[in-house]
Amino acid sequence: MVSALLDPALDMALRGAAAALFGFAAWHKLKDPIAFWQVLAAYRLVPERLARPASILVPLVESATALGLLFLPSSPAPVIAALSLWVLYGIAMAINLLRGRTQLDCGCGGLAADQTIGWTLVGRNVLLAGFASLLLLPTSMRTILWLDGLTALFGALILLLLYASCDHLMRNAVLLSTDEAS
């Protein structure tokens, strides 16, 4: 039986990109906690009295996930946290889309700070969870060289640029469809 092994440079690149995404998301929420509280409450998935505590807990969990991805590479806990968060975010959006509530702010932060939810964002979260699941694979035991670190750094940057580009394209598609409907 052949077991799939992840190259250490790819592992580091994926971890770095995922950590950056969670770090930026947490920073965005912590920067304006009232706005995030309102976004979270608008989803109507937690009782109103729990929306405020949940709005404080979410960015703390995102921060811990980002730090864990970077500093606990042998632990599956931060990877499972990342997977869980992306799946939960996707489910939260899907529930509201199925309820017909399409004009909700996604609450994503960063470039998507004013983006409304849609099936493309649900798909994006499934894709992010899929990439994160690769981090559950064992890494090969080859010697890691300085070039691997550089490769991982640039790999993470390219993944983040690809994410930002796709995010920008999704926002423009929504804006263009809104303009055409007018």
Question: Which range among 70-79, 114-123, 166-175 shows the weakest confidence by mean pLDDT?
Answer: 166-175
What distance, in Å, lies between the first and last C-alpha atoms of the chain? Answer: 58
What are the structural domain ranges in the chain? 8-181
Q: Quick check: 166 pLDDT over 50?
A: yes
Place of tokens 């864990």: 68
Q: Quick check: 95 pLDDT over 60?
A: yes
Distance CA(62)–CA(81), nearest Å, equals: 8
pLDDT grade for 59, boundaries at 50, 70 and 90: very high
Closest CA to 154 of 5, 2, 16, 4: 16
Distance CA(126)–CA(90), nearest Å, equals: 7
Distance CA(74)–CA(167), nearest Å, equals: 30
Q: What are phi and psi of 116, to 5 degrees?
A: -85, 160
**Which DSSP state fits 117?**
P
Average pLDDT, integer, range 37-55: 93
Rounded to two decimals, the pTM is 0.87
